[in-house]
Amino acid sequence: MEASTAIVETKKFPAPGSKNPSPVQHAHSGLSCWNEVSQQFQAIIMHAGRSTHLQPATDGYPLAMLPIGNRPLLSYQLDYLERNGIAKITVVIEKRFLAKVEKYMNSYFKPSRDGTEIEVVALSDEEESGNVLKLLKDRITKDFIVLSGDVLVDVPLDQIIDHHNLNENSVTVLLKELDLSSKSKMPQKGEPESYDLFGLADWTASPQSENHTHRIVFKSNSVESQNMPLFVKASLLKKCHKMRVRSDLADGGVYVFRYWVLRLFEELEKDYDVDNSSIDDLITFMARNQFKKKLAKYIVKPKSEPKLGLSSHSYQAKIQAIMNPSLQTTKDLVKVAAFIDTEPLHYFVKFHNLKYYMLANQDAMRLSTQRPLFSYKGPSADLYSQYKSQIDENKREKRSVYEGLPAFLKQVSIDSSVQRDVEMGEKSQISKSSVGRGVKVGARSKIVNSIIMNHVTIGSDVTIQNCLILSKSQIGQKSKLKDAKVPFGQVIEEKSNITGDGGQD
């Protein structure tokens, strides 16, 4: 970590009202868990790392505030943690982006539960996730959850936490099973992103035990070729008896840690001469060394231990383990485990590049009424939000969606997200697109499957298909754009014909 990197400013955004949060129900068990989760865990959202893979969208613009269905990515991540019982959340960003995040938090973000406290921590420069944890060591007082800034996920967090507690894991990593037949969501041959390989062992204390846990015994990063050799220590194979190597799993960007792992993070480089700049470095090291006694010395209790009630899964699991020892998975003190989510309806996307960002925007509009992740109940300036009750009634009565609505709305498809102040010329059309504030669209122009950010001016007779147009750009009349990314403030001359990332015909 560079010596110059430091925390330079913090802002707190406490929720109004009582500090005693109301119970929330487990989606799959019916147990009241809000108080238990909020007492045991705090969360950190990592937005201080590099996001060059999303350029030009992140040129001078924070990943946290990139719009998805006209909502900042950060708002989805905060909502995800809140809905799953996390009351103390730290958002880490670069200082240069603090003003934008602060403006959003003050003007638009409304915590969904009393008792939620959000702290935005600004760093002097971009920083790796592992180094960020070291900087936050005085702010972390209990078991903690890290959420990567470049993921949009809605896998039930209570299921991951239950798995973590029941198996007494040191670290639990969310792995999302991928559908290899889904070309739109999988890295394709020739694309710049790579994939990881995971070595997993189904762990039990004895052959009679029915309680299995997936232990991560190795992770190979950035595998770019099926012919790349892999090396696994014989001692590791002997310890786990059998191991399965999988390439159909994505790192879900959700990591659940015991408090003591923070101490290991601090000492890793000094004690073992291991690079510990990222969370991935730590997990890889722990996976390879989890069966060695040398890590046991780092285990310490958190500064504030949770007081778990009788309804706690962890408490019940300990009683069951005493009554029936065969349920215990292992006596190992250090356990690096995976929670593998196989449910297709649990949304997940990682922003490897702009393709996945575009995909998330399309999903946000397509699934706005089907998934909790995209069903935003806060204040909205979306064009259709003021007519929602009429639209819902039309759907119930099996009438035309547009019945009873202003005629100009027929220019905007119902699966688009368009801000109310957008100006549209005669016979212009917007379909399956996200259009930001202050956009002006000329007559007879068509926008399809595209993201148009704030204050863009589009001339007449323009066709835009599957494009990303950044703020304050100008598109000249009679231009045709397909699969293009237009940088911030770019001026496209009249009658331009652009396909791809900037090639003009």
DSSP E strand boundaries for 439-496 = 440-441, 446-448, 451-452, 457-458, 463-465, 468-469, 474-475, 480-482, 485-486, 491-492
> Over the stretch 466-487, which tens digit does the pLDDT of each residue have?
999 999 999 999 999 999 999 9
Mean of the per-residue pLDDT values of the chain: 81
CB atoms within 10 A of CB 344: 10
pLDDT at residue 493, rounded to an integer: 96
* Residue closest to 43 by CA, chosen among 157, 152, 179, 153: 157
Q: Is the peptide bond before 56 cis (omega within 30 degrees of 0)?
A: yes
Q: How many Cβ atoms are within 10 Å of 23's Cβ, its own excluded?
A: 12
Q: What is the distance between the alpha carbons of residues 230 and 211, in angstroms, rounded to a whole number?
A: 30
**Number of neighbouring beta carbons within 10 Å of residue 22:** 11
Give yes or no for a contact between 444 and 438, defined as CB atoms under 8 angstroms apart. no
Q: Which of 156, 342, 160, 161 is nearest to 248 (CA)?
A: 342
Kindly tell me the sign of the dihedral angle through the C-alpha atoms of 312, 175, 131, 74.
Answer: negative
**d(C-alpha 488, C-alpha 486), whole Å:** 7
Q: Indicate where the chain has its CATH 3.90.550.10 domain(s).
A: 7-365
User: Would you state the pLDDT for residue 170?
Assistant: 92
CATH 2.160.10 fits 384-504, yes or no: yes
Q: Which fold has domain 7-365?
A: Spore Coat Polysaccharide Biosynthesis Protein SpsA; Chain A (3.90.550)
- Tell me the pairing of strands 336-341 and 440-441: unpaired
- pLDDT of residue 113 exceeding 80, the answer is no
Who contacts 418 (Cβ-Cβ below 8 Å, separation ≥6)? 70, 382, 383, 384, 412, 430, 433, 434, 435
pLDDT of residue 324: 52
Banded pLDDT at 2 (limits 50, 70, 90):
very low
Convert the pLDDT of each residue in 184-224 to its tens digit: 444 443 344 556 789 998 765 444 445 567 899 888 765 54
The pLDDT of residue 405:
84
Helices and strands in the chain: count of H runs, count of E runs: 11, 31
pLDDT, greater one: 107 or 454: 454
Give the whole-angstrom CA distance, residue 158 versus residue 43.
13
Residue 138: predicted pLDDT: 92
Q: What is the pLDDT, as a whole number, of residue 187?
A: 44
pLDDT tens, residue by residue, 317-358 = 555 555 554 444 445 678 999 999 999 889 999 998 888 999
pLDDT at position 489 over 80: yes
pTM of the model: 0.84
Burial 416-440 (b: 16+ CB within 10 A, else e): bbbbeebebbeebbbbbbbbbbbbe
Q: Is 309 left (phi over 0), alpha (psi -120 to 50) or beta?
A: beta
How far, rounded to the nearest angstrom, does the alpha carbon of residue 481 sit from its chain's CA centroid? 30
Q: Decide: helix, strand or coil at residue 447.
A: strand
- Give the Å distances, CA to CA, from 381 to 76, 185, 384, 434: 17, 30, 9, 13
| Cα(337)–Cα(163) distance, integer angstroms | 9
Q: Is 64 exposed, middle or buried (0-12, 13-18, 19+ CB in 10 A)?
A: buried
Chain length of the chain: 505
Q: What pLDDT score was predicted for residue 384?
A: 76
Q: 280, 173 in Cβ contact below 8 A?
A: no
Residue percentage of the chain with pLDDT more than 70: 77
Encode pLDDT of 289-323 as tens digits: 888 877 878 876 665 555 444 344 445 555 555 55
> For residue 474, what are its two tokens?
């100008």
Pick from 281-290, 330-339, 391-400: least confident: 330-339
Question: What backbone phi and psi angles, to 5 degrees, belong to 408?
Answer: -65, -20
143-176 pLDDT, tens digit each? 999 999 999 999 999 999 999 998 889 999 999 9
Q: Rounded distance, CA 499 to CA 497, Å?
A: 7
The residues of the chain that CATH labels 2.160.10 are 384-504
